[in-house]
Amino acid sequence: MAKERAMKHSEFTLGGLFWCSGRQWRCTDIGSRTIIAIRIDSVDVDGDVPELRRTLSRSEAEADGWFKGPPYAVVEVVFDEDMRGGCSLEPDPEDTVAANIRNPWPE
């Protein structure tokens, strides 16, 4: 079932979990018009040495302290009014294409 409506600003809670683009996020800050969040379903570890690049599962990242903060070891993403349109409290079972996109917010 596709999402019928965007999450309202009031539905986000500090520390609360939500889904967007096939990924799970934790709300780290609530602004007057924006939501700030970290991705918690996995962590892509980059570096100068290709052999050290890897993806950590949520449990691996939690065990290593990646989600402790602030400040966080992972990037915080700003969700504005337009981006909140794809957010929900439950994962969208039809959102399989978006789940395969590595990074929808390029640096």
Q: What is the CA radius of gyration of the chain?
A: 14
Query: Do the beta carbons of residue 14 and residue 27 sit within 8 Å?
Result: yes
Q: Residue 68 domain-assigned?
A: yes
Phi, psi of 61 (to 5 degrees): -65, -40
The token pair at 95 is 């959102």
Q: Residue 10 domain-assigned?
A: no
pLDDT tens digits along 41-58: 999 998 888 888 999 999
Domain total in the chain: 1
pLDDT at 33: 93
Domain that holds residue 84: 24-91
Q: Residue 15 domain-assigned?
A: no
Q: Is the pTM of this model over 0.75?
A: yes
For residue 49, count CB atoms less than 10 angstroms from its CB and return exposed for 0-12, middle for 13-18, buried for 19 or more.
exposed
pLDDT tens digits along 52-79: 899 999 999 999 999 999 999 999 999 9
What dihedral do alpha carbons 61, 63, 64, 65 form, nearest 10°? 90
Q: Residue 14 domain-assigned?
A: no
Query: Do the beta carbons of residue 33 and residue 78 sit within 8 Å?
Result: no
Q: Residue 87 domain-assigned?
A: yes
